[in-house]
Amino acid sequence: MRDVKALTLHLLQPAAHAVLVDAPSRSYFGGDPRLPPSVAWPIWNEKKLGFLARLSLAEISRVHSVSWLPNTGALLFFYDADAQPWGFDPKDRGCCAVLHVPDITSVNDSPESEIVKGAGLQHKNIAFCKVVTFPGWERDAIQLLNFTDGEFDRYLEVAGDPFHGMSRHQIAGYPAAVQADSMELECQLVSNGLYCGDGTGYADPRAEELNPGSSDWRLLFQIDSDDDLDIMWGDCGTIYFWIREQDARVGNFTNPWLIFQCA
CA distance 3 to 68: 32
Q: Give the domain ranges of the chain.
A: 4-261
- How far apart are the two ends of the chain, measured CA to CA in Å? 30
Q: Can you identify the CATH homologous superfamily of domain 4-261?
A: YwqG-like (2.30.320.10)
> Are the CB atoms for 32 and 50 separated by under 8 Å?
no
> Are the CB atoms for 92 and 258 separated by under 8 Å?
yes
User: pTM for the full model?
Assistant: 0.95
CA distance 137 to 155: 9
pLDDT tens across the length of the chain (263 residues): 899 999 999 999 999 999 999 999 999 999 999 999 999 999 999 999 999 999 999 999 999 999 999 999 999 999 999 999 999 999 999 999 999 999 998 775 555 554 444 455 789 999 999 999 999 999 999 999 999 999 999 999 999 999 999 999 999 999 999 998 999 999 999 999 999 999 999 999 999 999 999 999 999 999 999 999 999 999 999 999 999 999 999 999 999 999 999 98
Q: Coil, strand, or helix at residue 150?
A: helix
**Amino acid (one-letter) located at 200:** T
CA distance 251 to 68: 9
